[in-house]
Amino acid sequence: MKAVGYFEPELLATPKCLIDIDVDMPVAESMDLLVEVKAVSVNPVDYKIRASRRAEQEIPVILGWDAAGVIMDIGEKVQGFKKGDLVYYAGDLMRPGSNAQYQAVDHRLVAKMPKSLSFADAAALPLTSLTAYEGLFSKLKVPMDKEFNILIIGGAGGVSSLVLQLVKALTKGRVFVTYGRQSTKEWLEELGADGLINRQQTLLEGMQKLNLPYFDSIFSTTHTKEYFSEFYRILRPFGDVCLIDDPDILDIVSLKNKSATISWEAMFAKSLHKYDMESQGEILTTIADLVDSGKIRSTTTTVLNGLTASNFIKAHSILESGTSTGKIVVVY
């Protein structure tokens, strides 16, 4: 089958950073679905792994962990799916990814696609919606029946866009978001943000201009190291912080006198450690219901056509520039 992969970690400017390859078609193991991939979205995890992981035993690395497609075969222990079902999922970092015509994936990570979406729009959702949902309800433990104020650090990225929508769809919370560009501001207003803080301001200045006494929760998707020293000024006592990025060092002592809770959300932890994997399929079923009822929407903003290395190089380049809004999807 056709795929896009690589053998050695390379910069994007290097010709072999991503190449068109032919590999053997995967086989569905007992807990797997074999999926014909129709669309895949690209995430920062793709270029982070491209920069660090090497091929083993001359087997190329195939990236891609955010896909939608059609079930072609089913493992003997699989329940709840049949051949021909349209599905979407974020896969396992330790298995070959979805930048290929076919992919084998554990069925516990999979759900049936929203009926109202195309493959492209469905593929934009799994990784970001899982990260947003787990971060909000497992880590920050935001209430569904009480008012609260949450600050999202990270503008209009894929996760931020889903955090915003899930808060508006499932809770009584008010959502405030940092932004840097006019296009970002317009995107966030379109998604229903209650207030915005320009990155040219300090977080405290922004909060005061919004006439808020504090934030109950902070969901930091990027630039955590840059902003973290301000968190103690804007977080309420016994407030909560969840982050998903990778600061090399993070001094959390300043939040001790706020008795704050600080946690990381890493949605691949469940598949990496084979822990509570079925919950991700269940969350994606909830997301599909929210989409089909019109309560949240896909965040696709850029669509590239064709399973080619050049398309994935272009997608990685946009992501690495730090200027993307919403999600980039490659359709096969």
What is the residue extent of each domain of the chain?
A: 2-125+276-331, 129-264
pLDDT at 204: 97
pLDDT band at residue 13, thresholds of 50, 70 and 90?
Answer: confident
pLDDT at 117: 98
Phi and psi at 259, nearest 5°, equal 50, 45
Q: Using alpha carbons, select from 258, 263, 210 the residue that is nearest to residue 235.
A: 258
CA atoms lying within 13 Å on the CB side of residue 276: 10
Element (H, E) at 105: strand 102-106
> Same fold for the domain at 2-125+276-331 and the one at 129-264?
no
CA angle 318, 321, 191 (to 5 degrees): 70
Q: At what angle do helices 126-134 and 278-292 cross, to 10 degrees?
A: 100
Residues in the chain, how many? 332
| CATH number, domain 129-264 | 3.40.50.720
pLDDT at 156: 82
23 close to 60: Cβ distance less than 8 angstroms: yes
Please state, in angstroms and rounded to a whole number, the distance separating the CA atoms of residues 257 and 163: 27
pLDDT at 323: 78
| CATH domain 2-125+276-331 topology | Quinone Oxidoreductase; Chain A, domain 1 (3.90.180)
pLDDT band at residue 32, thresholds of 50, 70 and 90?
Answer: very high
Q: For residue 325, what are its two tokens?
A: 């809004």
CA angle 301, 121, 224 (to 5 degrees): 55
Type of residue found at 81: F
Task: Name the average pLDDT for the chain.
Answer: 96
